[in-house]
Structure 1
Amino acid sequence: MKEKRSSFSGSIGFVLAAAGSAVGVGNIWRFPYLCAKDGGGLFLLVYLVLVLTFGFVLLTTDVAIGRKTKKNALKAFEELNPKWKFLGRLTFLVPVLIMTYYSVIGGWITKYLFVYLVSDGIEAAVDGYFTSFITSDIAPIVFMLIFLALTAWIVFRGVEKGIEKFSKIIMPGLILLIVIIAIFCLTLTNTAPDGTVRTGMQGLAVYLKPDFHGLTVKRFLEILLDAMSQLFFSLSVSMGIMITYGSYVKNDIDLNKATNQIEIFDTGVAILAGMMIIPAVFVFLGNDGMASGPSLIFISLPKVFDAMGVFGRPAAIAFFLMMGFAALTSCVSVMETLVANGMELYHKPRKKMCGVVGIYSFITAVLICLGYNKLYFELKLPNGSVGQLLDVMDYISNSFLMPFISLLTSILIGWVIGPDWIIGEVERNGEKFKRAGMYRFMIRYVVPVVMLVLFLVSTGFADLIA
């Protein structure tokens, strides 16, 4: 028996749930270290331009496709054009890959929150603590399972009683925590061993001031790729999530207004995350602290909390609680996409599909955990970086599939279906789509070209051509 299709109760429920998906580890974990790596304010400037152009186009496209078809990615593209049903399968593959490692990262965050809740957390600041934890046999799996079980429980409760209700409670608290911590970090002051006084406001300048030193065309393309990869990960576009959430949106909702609100939520949190993390790391660790890359929050920040003295533990608890909220809302959206597609494809009830997806997520996440010990290997990726199992999954989903899916989607909407199909859905209730002209131009001429370039850069073909 086919279940009645779920829906969000209204605009606020949709916006908070979609923002919850968008506001995740991508904003708070990836954004600050990419910003520090790619020239501070230069990366920020590139990212903002991308959000206002590509982000707006891709987000509007996904949500409109979902609401118009009332189907998930697997079936939505087939309804648009039967010859393009393969694009639905490609899109579905992205959350399949992301789900393998997102709960692992969620488990890391859960572990650090637990450490600071039950102790002063001094051990978390010791060199080698993070490496020792992720390379151990059992602990990463246990904390991953706790995080995954909570994710599955929320998805099991459904759209309105689970995802929407959870988002309405968590999102306001998440944003409040981010604002409080960001303001606190800007007030920090510390005297370095050489006698230099470093302040949070100086760290803010490091964050916001564009660094054009050594900028070349190739380097700019690398920054552009990082920013676009961050955009995909952050806004949850080109992975079927926003198509799924869009399919739950009622027809009387103003899509243009809703997508604008999601953009504001997502970008605002990303900017605040940078204001929260980069000044704090600068104050206590200087510029060297920025070089820890993806491990910024697990290696550098515990040292910052340790240096804060009596304020360290409360700040750490608030930070990792906020990180936990962000990771959970995003992981819920990834799992919901898999469950919803499974329900639609196999006509099975939510309860059974939650069980199937939960088992898949657990088994693959265990393999990712083992990728740091028993299954450890190093592989040079086409983009020049070297990684192991988690990095491979992240590269395939974010740097390879997402630009490729966006390229194909822009061709389908821009040249096969026509931009007016999307514009008509946005204006369904008579609301004026003020950026319709920009949307039409971007989806037909700009997005395909830029996505092709980014795809060639991310796969290493650009270097071969050069």
Structure 2
Amino acid sequence: MEQNKPQQTQEKRGMWSSRFGFLMAAVGSAVGLGNLWKFPYLAGENGGGAFVLVYVVLVVILGFTLMLAELSIGRNTNSDAFGAYSKIKKGWGFVGGFGILAGFLILSYYSVVGGWVIKYIVASITGIGADKGAYFTNFITSPVEPIVYHLIFMGLTALIVIRGISGGIEKASKIVMPALFIMLAVIVLRSVTLEGASAGLKYYLTPNFDEITLKVIIAALGQVFFSLSLGMGCMVTYGSYLNKDSDIEKDALLIPSLDSLVAIMAGFAILPAVFAFGFEPSQGPGLMFVTLPAVFENMPLGMFFSVIFFVLVFFAAISSSISLMEVTVAFGIDRLRWSRTTSVMVFTAVMFVIGIGASLSMGAWSGFLIPWIDGNSYGIFDFLDVVTSYYLLPLGGLLSAIFIGFVWGVPNAVKEIRIGSKFRSEKIWSVLIKFVVPVLVFIILLSTTGLLDKIIG
């Protein structure tokens, strides 16, 4: 009976049925809303081509190193994020716990934005009106409509995850991610052929090396870290469903490369069009939900391209949300001994309730503020974003690097990696995971909490 337990556990948890399916799911986890609006904005704000160059270099250093670390932990233990660290070293489950908590809280408000995207797919067909800013503000401050779309987004996420790894997440990712690349390519082609697009291309691609400052490097560091779903347990969890003969070294190179390709393509899709019609790139919802609808309205066949764009954004959002959901669901299955159905239903319900608060904080509950250790007070939506993005994710990434480098030990990690790959970059990776990555992530942590400015100042 004892010999059959590992097999039964694998069948219960599920496994990827193909390498392509795993890659599409992992890339889908990494590709999200940040690729489609934040990367183009950051590139424009931080020196254009200079930022892109710094970003690519850091993807190789930080992205590959931590990606390989998390995949190796997951595959070695065949467990959820909390259980993975506990199995290797008793008492270290809290490292994975940071990731699970981060993923849980992120999806609680991320799904609200996912609901906005669904609304804008509909609005692209029915019409938004002349005042794009007022339309967006009136929608997100409504006490009912955003919550309905939030529920729809959470429901779609749950439907995919409840079907399991190969039957749900993998099958959906095999459809969603190739479609995302195709639709993004269509938008890029339309954008770069607009009259006046050359100004945006020049802005995006011409590097000004004088602008490579500490601020630019830190901005690129943060984007690499948050874009790749590092520190939130996603890659540990996805790695736990891999077969032992999988080449995780190659996967750890391909996933950041494809994620970065989407981000760079998003720059080609958005910036030339924004410049062609005389708009300025702006951060966050302003770019995606106010500026771009105005761009599409002025574009030939604008409604067609607007629908394609927001469907593209929805695909990016749902591919990330299913990975965030799976992190918490795997915890429910492995630690709490729940069935997959129970785990999905319970966590979906709790996330939905928290998301209601996040949505209402844009309008009816805007006066309810939560004080935080940085001295500021935040609405529920912003509070969840600050706690996860500025604290939990960097802390999780830092502890993961320390865990591999000094607790589990590089030799043990290398032994796991070499099961399915030749791993020629062992010496370089060893230095990166033990010394370079912890320093870089620590700088991110200092920067996002405001401590770096005080130290430099």
**Among residues 146, 150, 153, which one is paired with 2:156 in the alignment?**
150
CA–CA separation in structure 2 for the residues paired with 1:461 and 1:380: 18
Letter in 1 for 2:107: M
SS of equivalent to 1:82: coil
Q: TM-score w.r.t. structure 2 length? A: 0.93
Match of 1:279 in 2: 272
Q: How far is the alpha carbon of 1:464 from its aligned partner?
A: 3.4
CA–CA separation in structure 2 for the residues paired with 1:454 and 1:96: 22
**Among residues 162, 167, 171, which one is paired with 1:161 in the alignment?**
167
Letter in 2 for 1:112: Y
CA–CA separation in structure 2 for the residues paired with 1:460 and 1:415: 28
CA–CA separation in structure 2 for the residues paired with 1:294 and 1:34: 14
**Among residues 401, 411, 428, which one is paired with 1:410 in the alignment?**
401
Question: Sequence identity, in percent?
Answer: 40
Q: How far is the alpha carbon of 1:179 from its aligned partner?
A: 0.9
1:416-461 CA distances to partner (integer Å, 9 max, x unpaired)? Answer: 22212222222103x2112222211101111122222221222122
CA–CA separation in structure 2 for the residues paired with 1:325 and 1:398: 22
Match of 2:281 in 1: 290
Match of 1:457 in 2: 447
CA–CA separation in structure 2 for the residues paired with 1:132 and 1:37: 28
| Corresponding residue pairs, total | 447
Match of 1:232 in 2: 225
Flag the 1:89–1:380 CA change in 2: closer, same or farther, 3 A: closer
Residues 1:209 and 2:206 are matched in the alignment: yes
Match of 2:94 in 1: 86
Residues 1:70 and 2:78 are matched in the alignment: yes
1:132-178 CA distances to partner (integer Å, 9 max, x unpaired)? Answer: 11011111111111111111100011111100011111111110011
1:252-307 CA distances to partner (integer Å, 9 max, x unpaired)? Answer: 11112222221221111110011101111111134xx2135442111110110111
Question: Which one is further off, 331-340 or 42-51?
Answer: 42-51
Unaligned runs of 5+ in 2: 1-7
Residues 1:356 and 2:353 are matched in the alignment: no
1:72-122 CA distances to partner (integer Å, 9 max, x unpaired)? Answer: 1111111121132221222211102101111111001000001123x2x24
Match of 1:37 in 2: 45
Q: TM-score w.r.t. structure 1 length? A: 0.91
Flag the 1:384–1:304 CA change in 2: closer, same or farther, 3 A: farther
SS of equivalent to 1:188: coil
CA–CA separation in structure 2 for the residues paired with 1:292 and 1:330: 20
Matches within 5 A, 1:254-403: 254-286=247-279, 289-308=280-299, 310-377=300-367, 388-403=379-394
The answer on whether the counterparts of 1:10 and 1:249 sit within 8 Å (CA) in structure 2 is no
SS of equivalent to 2:235: helix
Flag the 1:54–1:386 CA change in 2: closer, same or farther, 3 A: farther
Match of 1:25 in 2: 33
Q: How far is the alpha carbon of 1:124 from its aligned partner?
A: 6.9
Question: Which one is further off, 204-213 or 240-249?
Answer: 204-213
Matches within 5 A, 1:97-112: 97-112=105-120
Q: How far is the alpha carbon of 1:43 from its aligned partner?
A: 2.0
The answer on whether the counterparts of 1:30 and 1:294 sit within 8 Å (CA) in structure 2 is no
CA–CA separation in structure 1 for the residues paired with 2:343 and 2:82: 15
The answer on whether the counterparts of 1:98 and 1:394 sit within 8 Å (CA) in structure 2 is yes
1:371-416 CA distances to partner (integer Å, 9 max, x unpaired)? Answer: 1012214789888999643232222212222222222221221122
